[in-house]
Amino acid sequence: MTGSRKSDINAEDVPVGKEVEQLKAVRFHEFGGVDVLRVEEVDDPSPGPGEVLVGIRASALNHLDVDVRDGTSRFPVSFPHTLGVELAGEIEALGEGVEGWSPGDRVNPYIMETCGECRYCATGRENLCLAPGFISFTTGGGYAERVVVKARNLIRVPGGVSFEEAAALQVAFATSWHMLFTRGNLRAGETVMINSVGSGIGSAAVQLAKIAGAFVIGNASSDEKLARAGELGLDAGINHVTEDVVARVMELTGDRGVDLVYEHVGGELFQKGLDSLAKDGRLVICGGHSGEVVPFDIIPFFRGQKTVIGSFTYTREEVASCFALAARGLIKPIVHRTFPLDDAGEAMATMERREHFGKLVLVP
């Protein structure tokens, strides 16, 4: 999204329809708090060869957005930047050579823009692409009215799944799928502990682990969040602020420990997760907002023959699998609240206060 400029005309004066040359986007020109966000009119992008223009109907917030905005994401950010990696909408226009898609199709772009040719793309592991791009970094972002993406990155949204649910599904559920099943190898009858079940990916993991036949233990910072997770299938909840997580896990498992820990928090919960594992147990991890560099007690780790497994995003196929489950009503993306685009700052502030359960969604 280059060549952007501030609008010199009123939005009301612009004719409605394809002649509109500007779109509304929430951008920032410097790192900082929510006050660096600007609602601006920017040039409407047009799709090039192999690309489509998507009219955004819903865009979900992620904690990554906060890190990108305040400059701690460790991703290269160029200014001005439009946030938002996760969106759902309708195709409005096709670029040259696009086949298999039509205007009006309901779509959810894959979070990554992959090369399609490297050894990882060629073997169904495009999440590890050697030349990766990402929605909002190599395209426009989701905090906007429209975006251009590559047609081959599109995933079809099945009927019966709303735009808000579709926007809330991909990162939470496909990340969980990749962590629990592909990386963590969770099997029916195993016991899993999900850290921070009140978050988007935590609440999604509870649902997927439950339908996979696991006994699901989860922790959260409040009893209210644990009660909400109970409605999604959580078998046993631990308040990690008021209770000793490891002691409670041992009580719940007859001193055995859990087979798998689903970790995305970092800080103290990482070590508590390791200490909660049964012998030969696995801890799968995809995030560390509460502490990215942690002490690591080596002795009990190897004596218990434990495994730590890294996990990065997910594949298109895994997203499609989650959509299939949602279309059958077996999983439900949790939308805590929706906000108009103009209130993106309030939406981000709500997320940073950690008062929500499930996803916050912008509706342009």
Interface residues with Zn ion (CB under 5 A)? 114-115, 118, 121, 129
Measured from the CB atom, the residue of 132 and 364 that comes closer to Zn ion is 132
* CB neighbour list of residue 360: distance below 8 Å, 6 or more residues apart: 60, 61, 335, 336, 337, 338, 339, 347, 350, 351
Shortest Å, Cβ 127 to Zn ion: 10
Shortest Å, Cβ 71 to Zn ion: 28
Measured from the CB atom, the residue of 168 and 319 that comes closer to Zn ion is 319
Residues forming beta bridges with residue 147, ordered by sequence position: 54
Shortest Å, Cβ 314 to Zn ion: 15
Shortest Å, Cβ 150 to Zn ion: 13
Shortest Å, Cβ 201 to Zn ion: 24
The residue among 201, 198, 244, 197 whose CA lies nearest residue 216 is 197
CA distance 266 to 287: 7
Measured from the CB atom, the residue of 53 and 135 that comes closer to Zn ion is 135
Measured from the CB atom, the residue of 127 and 219 that comes closer to Zn ion is 127
Shortest Å, Cβ 118 to Zn ion: 3
The residue among 161, 123, 163 whose CA lies nearest residue 142 is 163
CA distance 16 to 271: 56
CA distance 316 to 298: 36
Based on its alpha-carbon atoms, the radius of gyration of the chain, rounded to whole angstroms, reads: 21
Residue 21 burial (10 A CB sphere; 0-12, 13-18, 19+): middle
Torsion angle defined by CA atoms of residues 70, 75, 79 and 82, in that order, rounded to the nearest 10 degrees: -80
Measured from the CB atom, the residue of 115 and 308 that comes closer to Zn ion is 115
Shortest Å, Cβ 122 to Zn ion: 8
Provide the residue type at 290 as one letter. Answer: S
Measured from the CB atom, the residue of 114 and 219 that comes closer to Zn ion is 114
* CB neighbour list of residue 243: distance below 8 Å, 6 or more residues apart: none
The reply to whether omega before 364 is within 30° of 0 (cis) is: no
DSSP 8-state secondary structure symbol assigned to residue 237:
E
- Residue 346 backbone phi and psi in degrees, to 5: -65, -40
Measured from the CB atom, the residue of 129 and 362 that comes closer to Zn ion is 129
* CB neighbour list of residue 10: distance below 8 Å, 6 or more residues apart: none
Return the exposure string of 51-72: e unless at least 16 CB atoms fall within 10 Å of the residue's CB, then b: bbbbbbbbbbbbbbbbebbeee
Measured from the CB atom, the residue of 26 and 121 that comes closer to Zn ion is 121
Shortest Å, Cβ 30 to Zn ion: 32
Shortest Å, Cβ 100 to Zn ion: 21
Give the count of beta carbons closer than 10 Å to the beta carbon of residue 194. 32
Measured from the CB atom, the residue of 93 and 118 that comes closer to Zn ion is 118
